[in-house]
Amino acid sequence: MITPDIKKKIEIDFGPEKDKHVLSDIQGLVERFYAQYGKNPSARIIRCILHLAAGNEEEVTRLIEAAITDWRDVILWAEHDEKDNRVFNGIELFSFPE
C-alpha cells in the first residue's frame, strides 16, 4: 500500500526529477508482489526499501527485486544492524520535520 507518508518520503528523497519514476517502480512492486504472493506488499516493506535506498534510485530497483524474491530479507536488512539490534521500524510512519 502506498500511503501518504511513503509518497512524501519519495518526493523528499528523490526530488522532482525522479520521484514519479520511483513511485512508478514502487507501483510495479505492488503489482509484481501481488502476482507472486496473492496480496499487496505491506507499507512496512515499502518503507524498508525506501529507508535502505536512501535516495538512490538504482538501490530501489535492486531492493524491489530482493523483496520479490524474499520480502523478509528487506525487512531484516532495514530494521536490524549486524548485531541484531533494532535500528529502524518500518511499521511506523515516516516522520518529517515541520
pLDDT in tens, 37-93: 999 999 999 999 999 999 999 999 999 999 999 999 999 999 999 999 999 999 999
| Residue 98 reports pLDDT greater than 90 | no
53 in any annotated domain: yes
31 in any annotated domain: yes
93 in any annotated domain: no
Q: For residue 3, what is its C-alpha cell?
A: 500511503
Distance of CA 33 to the CA centre of its chain: 13
Distance of CA 44 to the CA centre of its chain: 7
Q: Which pLDDT score, from 0 to 100, does residue 97 have?
A: 87
8 in any annotated domain: yes
10 in any annotated domain: yes
Q: Which pLDDT score, from 0 to 100, does residue 17 have?
A: 92
- Decide: 6 and 45 in contact? Cβ < 8 Å: no
Domain count, the chain: 1
Q: Which pLDDT score, from 0 to 100, does residue 1 have?
A: 79
pLDDT in tens, 2-28: 999 999 999 999 999 999 999 999 999
91 in any annotated domain: no
Domain range for 33 is: 4-79
Neighbour count for residue 70 (Cβ, 10 Å): 10
39 in any annotated domain: yes
